[in-house]
Chain A
């Protein structure tokens, strides 16, 4: 695809070989294995080019003899020893190589690959490379012919390698990131440069050396290493996602280094520098900003001949950190020791910005037991945590102090500065910004709301106000991705990425038809159908539940519409319980079906409070009617009692006629009542009805309950039944209303009353 005009005919590039034999990739083709391969060893070719490059540079700069001498050697050795770093030796001057030729390739890559964010990652470094800072242009103009030649000869792939491997000498030009620009290390480094007088340091550096230091550095004194940051990303780091609109997460914060340097000036001899700074690969994160590597960087501008690679660091990272720690560690310790010593054993500083949520940071809660955590917690939650910490802190206080001392010499601290830690944490937290915190964080918010309500209830509204959790919300952005298209072209690009996926498999679902299986399926299907219905009702129920919240949030003019919607939902819920649209009665079948599943019972119990009175009453009547069947089905689950609470509410708001009706339903046909009495819920329901009737009678003398004899008759039959039924068949209710005795006293004589009392174990205290 990317044909380069080769000045040398026999230059076998991988790309060329592939291009010629696109149709059938013959793995044993001549070019790779046969005559073509032998003829032109690309390694040799490369080495030759490297020499060419060197000569070019020597001609241009006229300095850096040692480097140029070394490099061809390295290049020469390259092909004999399986090429450790093929591109590094000659690719130390990537800027010159790319400057001249490869424009066609460049523009094409940028055009095609740059527009699809999913695959653009490769191209960006390149495009930024073309805007080189003025410093580099201080070099004499390159002999463009040769440079162009060499670059043209490079295959596309090699150029990619090159891009990745070369140093990144670009300043963070467009970083209006969350951190300030980290340019301008010059004042700092100049301060350190004075250290080069120190013999110890120099000797160590000479010994160990800084291999592969690009000689360009030594020539350009004006350049600071602070600008060696990775080029700003113009595409999202996540493959396949739309381009990052937010600020590019580029450089980390600039490190205020003054305190570090003061200390180092005092003890220069004790500091051993890690010799080899891996600038071959642009560091993903700037280790140089930590105290450790700053030294190495600062010392690198010192002119010294490059040494062969392969020498390990003088000290390990940990040892270095230890040394530095002992000197530097005292500085940021101001706020730290109280943190370490106080409170819970184990809140180390590096736990600090862990798991925070985007938004206002929680206020640092005073002194010792600080939960060094910026999580956006519900105030109730935070209170609980602090309580817990204080309890523990009081206990551990002595132990903590001892441990804290030991921790002051923690070898693993200060590898990252506080700002760096916060920076990393903020990157993580940016991902947690949500457009709808109520939905995204549903569980947490509702859990603590419920807890608040519970506490309020328990403490009888002692609190003046309930604390609320306010989560910041990010506006939702519409990302519409359109795959790149060329105007007037006949075809479409076949680049498939996450944003525009391509159909790969044509999968068709086939169901096997087997008679036996069908029968089995039918059984399962029925159950599945019930569950499906229940789930659908649940989603409606959730909508209804959220209505209040939504109502408060919507503006005035939209409230009517919302209200209408709410009514529709509720109606729909009720309708699903009814079989026929015109029949106001709750369909027994449907109701039974739903209640046969545990989930269904739960659903009904949550549904009842939301239904309007007549409908709720109808539901309760349906339940009463079918109680024996329900009780039978509930034997395994025993969860009918969930219904008690909502049913209580309904019963207490019923009219007298409906109450009578309910009692009648409960009694139903012959033999229903004993069954009812056997079930806990049944008994409870019965008691509820009776007590409600009693309340009505006693409170309102003109109550209609006594208008017809139904109520009286029903109560009579109930009492008869209660007396008849053996004690063993009578299950105890969940609770016994206190006014039952007064109720019974109206209808039965003393003897029977006493019997009843004994049987039902209702005391006469309520009298």
Chain B
């Protein structure tokens, strides 16, 4: 649940999601679920000429398994806290 929690804190922020099919989608993160499926609003494809079929799409739902990268705003992330969360999760797993 670590990254679900992490992405929840990023809801409402602008992110760029790069998919495994090389499509990059920029938009506002609307919601996320435990599978890290992502719903985005106000999306725009970063190079629109290559993917003209996405011109009219405003919102999208992206299955979590097809995401390659999620580019985040650096100042919205607390890396120390993330590290702590990972340590806690590791401790929990051990028990």
Query: Interface of A with B (CB < 8 Å)?
Result: 344-348, 351, 354-355, 373, 375, 377, 381, 384-385, 388, 428, 431-432, 434, 439-448, 450, 535, 538-539, 542, 602
**B41 / chain A contacts, CB cutoff of 8 Å:** 344-347, 351
CB pair A354 B1 closer than 8 Å: no
CB pairs A–B below 8 angstroms (6 shown): A354-B30, A355-B39, A377-B8, A381-B9, A442-B2, A446-B81
CB pair B39 A442 closer than 8 Å: no
**A443 / chain B contacts, CB cutoff of 8 Å:** 2, 5-6, 9, 81-82, 85
Extra inter-chain contacts (14) besides given A373-B30, A439-B88, A441-B8, CB under 8 Å: A345-B41, A345-B42, A355-B39, A373-B31, A377-B11, A385-B11, A428-B34, A441-B1, A443-B6, A444-B6, A445-B5, A447-B81, A535-B87, A542-B88
Partner of A450, one of B5, B30, B32, B81: B81
- Interface status of B22 (Cβ within 8 A of chain A): no
- Interface status of B21 (Cβ within 8 A of chain A): no
**A432 / chain B contacts, CB cutoff of 8 Å:** 1, 4, 33-34
**B74 / chain A contacts, CB cutoff of 8 Å:** none
For residue B10, give the distance in angstroms from its CB to the closest CB of chain A: 9
For residue A649, give the distance in angstroms from its CB to the closest CB of chain B: 18
Minimum CB distance partner of B57 in chain A: A346
CB pair B80 A602 closer than 8 Å: yes
Q: How far is the CA of A347 from the CA of B40 in the complex (A)?
A: 10
For residue A242, give the distance in angstroms from its CB to the closest CB of chain B: 19
- In residues 1-57 of chain B, which contact A (Cβ within 8 Å)? 1-2, 4-6, 8-9, 11-12, 30-34, 39, 41-42
Question: Given A351-B30, A381-B12, A388-B12, does the pair A440, B5 have CB atoms closer than 8 Å?
Answer: yes
CB pair A354 B39 closer than 8 Å: yes
Minimum CB distance partner of A434 in chain B: B1
For residue A467, give the distance in angstroms from its CB to the closest CB of chain B: 15
For residue A522, give the distance in angstroms from its CB to the closest CB of chain B: 26
**B5 / chain A contacts, CB cutoff of 8 Å:** 440-445
Q: How far is the CA of A138 from the CA of B39 in the complex (A)?
A: 51
For residue A536, give the distance in angstroms from its CB to the closest CB of chain B: 10
Partner of B34, one of A388, A431, A447, A539: A431
CB pair A354 B31 closer than 8 Å: yes
Per-position contact with A for B69-91: 1 when CB-CB < 8 Å, else 0? 00000000010111011011101
CB pair A354 B33 closer than 8 Å: yes
Minimum CB distance partner of A387 in chain B: B12
CB pair B31 A375 closer than 8 Å: yes
- Interface status of B92 (Cβ within 8 A of chain A): yes
Minimum CB distance partner of B92 in chain A: A439
Q: How far is the CA of A50 from the CA of B65 in the complex (A)?
A: 46
**B92 / chain A contacts, CB cutoff of 8 Å:** 439
Q: How far is the CA of A441 from the CA of B34 in the complex (A)?
A: 11
CB pair B78 A542 closer than 8 Å: no
**B82 / chain A contacts, CB cutoff of 8 Å:** 443
**B34 / chain A contacts, CB cutoff of 8 Å:** 428, 431-432
Partner of A538, one of B4, B12, B31, B87: B87
Q: How far is the CA of A443 from the CA of B84 in the complex (A)?
A: 8
**A535 / chain B contacts, CB cutoff of 8 Å:** 87
Q: How far is the CA of A463 from the CA of B51 in the complex (A)?
A: 48
CB pair B91 A440 closer than 8 Å: no
Minimum CB distance partner of A345 in chain B: B58
CB pair B11 A375 closer than 8 Å: yes
For residue B11, give the distance in angstroms from its CB to the closest CB of chain A: 7
**B8 / chain A contacts, CB cutoff of 8 Å:** 375, 377, 441, 444
CB pair B12 A384 closer than 8 Å: yes
Q: How far is the CA of A447 from the CA of B13 in the complex (A)?
A: 14
CB pair A539 B91 closer than 8 Å: yes
Minimum CB distance partner of B3 in chain A: A443
Q: How far is the CA of A450 from the CA of B82 in the complex (A)?
A: 13
For residue A50, give the distance in angstroms from its CB to the closest CB of chain B: 43
Question: Given A373-B31, A388-B12, does the pair A450, B87 have CB atoms closer than 8 Å?
Answer: no
For residue A680, give the distance in angstroms from its CB to the closest CB of chain B: 21
Partner of B39, one of A351, A439, A445, A602: A351
Q: How far is the CA of A674 from the CA of B89 in the complex (A)?
A: 45
Q: How far is the CA of A255 from the CA of B30 in the complex (A)?
A: 29
